[in-house]
Amino acid sequence: MPAHGKPDPAFRFRTAHEIEALDAHFDLRNVPPKSDDTLMLACWNIANFGVQNRSDNAITLLAHICRRFDLIAVQEVNENWHPLADLVKELGPSWDLIMSDTAGNYERLAFVFDRDRVTPKQLFGEIALRARDFPKRDVTVNYTFNRVPKSKEFKGLEFQPYDRNPFIGSFACGSLDCTLATCHLYWGAGGNPTTLEKQTKYARRVMEIHALAAWADKRSEKATTYDQDIILLGDMNVPTMTPLQASYGPLIGYGMQPLKYASRVGGSNLSGKNTYDQMAFAPNRLQSRIMDYAVFDFDNAVFGGLWRKLSHIQSDTKRSSAFRKHINCHLSDHRPLWVQLDVS
């Protein structure tokens, strides 16, 4: 993605003040602290990381949020990965990263983790799936036009190889061993594609999710798999977690068990309306270890001074839009999704 434009009016923030606000919001949202008996796992699309010019203060805030977790799957890391290295340095000497090479849109996928809490194991690599390994499928794309529900049928669609191959990594923490598959799936069109071009692009995204969920289902059942405890996580571009949403259907269709987090704080985008980011567990795997989960809506904690500065804008919608431009520029247009797992 191109970098978010520099917002107007300019806003300078005091890092210490924003950290205090974040800590208070962690408590308000009941985000549990780290402990020896739990793993705090998160995924976060830190938008345009390496393209967006973020200040040292912004990196400090991003690190403060990440430090609440033990292991974070990060999406939208650009070819210029040095800002990610700056983030890891800011996190502290026990933190490390493992990342993929660049793919579509010059993006990487990465795992950022605390070596004092998490141990990387032997399996890391990209999931390169072939079209011939998956049967052709019919896809129904539902949409609304002039408030009338409609649908577009695509017959015999073939899976196209990923623009950005999902990136898998195996980790251990306490009694838990698992394999994470982080991804940033094809966007193409929004959740209400009203033109044939947008519907065709949306259908491609649906096929990507079909392939990934089918892979996880098959690998979780195979005895020779390195680790059958598989978690899919990342920016899957699933607009809403409803049965009519064609991009959500494959996850539950293959028995994957996504975290139904939207009813708690809201979605993973800044408006809270969409659930683009997902975390889904392979069938009958690890569900008994799930203790808590949610998104962390950091955007409702930081930059209180800016919100007051924008009070001259009469429309709440326009004021929120102006405010989010600063959040996008300094931090991200996505919220981190987290889960607490029992590793005792």
Q: What is the pLDDT of residue 88?
A: 98
Residue 17 has pLDDT above 80, yes or no: yes
Domain layout of the chain by residue ranges = 15-342
63/89 Cα distance (integer angstroms): 9
* Tally of CB atoms within 10 A around 27: 10
Q: What confidence category does residue 108 fall into, taking pLDDT thresholds of 50, 70 and 90?
A: very high
What the block records as the tokens of 38 is 């739990």
DSSP H or E segment with residue 304: helix 304-309
Q: What is the pLDDT of residue 135?
A: 87
Q: What is the pLDDT of residue 39?
A: 98
Q: What is the mean pLDDT of the chain?
A: 94
Q: What confidence category does residue 3 fall into, taking pLDDT thresholds of 50, 70 and 90?
A: confident
% the chain with pLDDT above 90: 87
143/318 Cα distance (integer angstroms): 26
CATH superfamily ID and name for 15-342: Endonuclease/exonuclease/phosphatase (3.60.10.10)
296/303 Cα distance (integer angstroms): 16
Residue 265 has pLDDT above 90, yes or no: no
Residue 5 has pLDDT above 80, yes or no: no
Burial class, 101, CB count within 10 angstroms (exposed 0-12 / middle 13-18 / buried 19+): exposed
Q: Which residues contact 155 (CB under 8 A, 6 or more apart)?
A: 138
Q: What is the mean pLDDT of residues 58-66?
A: 98
Residue 298 has pLDDT above 90, yes or no: yes
